[in-house]
Each structure stands twice: as C-alpha cells, then as structure tokens.
Amino acid sequence: MPELVVRSVVGPAPVRRPEIALYVGSANGEPVSSGLGTGTGTGTGTGRTIGVHNISTLAPFRRRGYGAAMTARVAADGVAAGLGPPAGLTAQNARREGGRA
C-alpha cells in the first residue's frame, strides 16, 4: 500500500503505533486487498477489542472472497493478541477464517 495512501487514512506515523496493524493481501504475489486493524480501549472481557477498518479489494479481484478473508485475518490477529473480537464477529469465527488473507 503506498505510503501516501496510508497517511491519508491513518495519519503521519501509523507504523510507529503498536495499536495499529496494516495489512496487504496478495494472490500469486500480486496485492489484491488491504485492511487496517486497531486495538481499542473499550469492550468487554479483556476490556479491549479489535477494530477492523478500511477493508478494500481491487476491482478485478472482487467477489472472490478476498475482502472476507482480510476481515477475518485482521479479526483473528486481534483475538490472537488477546483482544476481544469486533462487534458482530465471534472469536470462533475469527479463528476459523484467520489464515486465509
């Protein structure tokens, strides 16, 4: 993901913030999707939840499950880091889909 695009979405120094994770999904070595995960200070259980943001897929690769896989991967990584799953996504679903992005 180009740095200019990242900065326009999350600010000047996102990679220096441990509560932010940037993702790029690829197929056959070609970038096809992207996503952003954030750790938030609200929620139940651990008191922190994963935020799943800005999931996108390039037009030629849409309708093939890359966006769903990216969403699940961001959520699964958050759960693996000890964060609660995002609203509407159970921890079981997050772990089930986690490695597909």
22: its two tokens = 């940037």
**Hey, what amino acid is at 5?**
V
Enter the pTM of the model.
0.68
- The CATH H-level superfamily of 3-97 is Gcn5-related N-acetyltransferase (GNAT) (3.40.630.30)
CA distance 52 to 40: 10
CA distance 67 to 61: 9
At residue 82 the predicted structure's pLDDT band, cuts being 50, 70 and 90, is confident
At residue 55 the predicted structure's pLDDT band, cuts being 50, 70 and 90, is very high
Start-to-end C-alpha separation, the chain: 15
* Residue 53 clears pLDDT 70, i.e. is over it: yes
- The answer to whether residues 74 and 66 touch, using CB atoms and an 8 Å cutoff, is no
Query: Residue 99: its pLDDT value, please?
Result: 40
Q: Return the beta strands (E) in 1-101 as ranges.
A: 20-27, 30-40, 49-57
